[in-house]
Amino acid sequence: MEHTYYFDGNQKKISWIIESSQPRSEESRIHAEYFYDIITIEQSKYIALHVGIFWGIGRFIIKNGDTVKVMLDLKTMFDRLVENKSTNDTFIEKRIKFIDQIIRQRNLGVRYQIIDPLENKAAKLLLSNN
């Protein structure tokens, strides 16, 4: 099955939307106290990417061998994940390690696509009071 995965994050919350042939799934969470208000927007987006995919697997939305089209609204994330450009941010590098591990363990086909931030459907979830 193929899924389209939108995600976003700020210094207070993360959010994600998974679209597939099943009903659309969406979620938002407040950052853990340890991260709350101390991480960058980019770091938050990596947390959302990691946690949301893990959540989708745990909810049996994303299954072993599925394809996930990951919609990226930051060029730096696209550069790092698609073109393997390095970063000096150890926090981000650790998140990428966890993301890659999930992808390998679940044999997921992942395709990254750059989108305009205005096309990021998960951004609106950051504005809700949930």
- Let me know if residue 96 belongs to a domain: yes
- Let me know if residue 100 belongs to a domain: yes
Give the total number of structural domains in the chain. 1
- Let me know if residue 71 belongs to a domain: yes
Task: Note the pTM of the prediction, 2 decimals.
Answer: 0.93
Half-sphere exposure of 124 (CA within 13 A, CB side): 6
- Let me know if residue 32 belongs to a domain: no
- Let me know if residue 87 belongs to a domain: yes
DSSP letter for each residue of 32-69: PTTTTTTS-HHHHHHHHHHHHHHHHHHTTSS-TT-EEE
CATH of the domain at 77: 3.30.420.10
- Per-residue pLDDT tens digits of the chain, which is 130 residues long: 999 999 999 999 999 999 998 788 999 999 988 888 899 999 999 999 999 999 999 999 999 999 999 999 999 999 999 988 888 999 999 999 999 999 999 999 999 999 999 999 999 999 876 5
Question: Residue 42 and residue 39: Cα distance in Å, rounded?
Answer: 8
pLDDT confidence of residue 84: 84
- Let me know if residue 123 belongs to a domain: yes
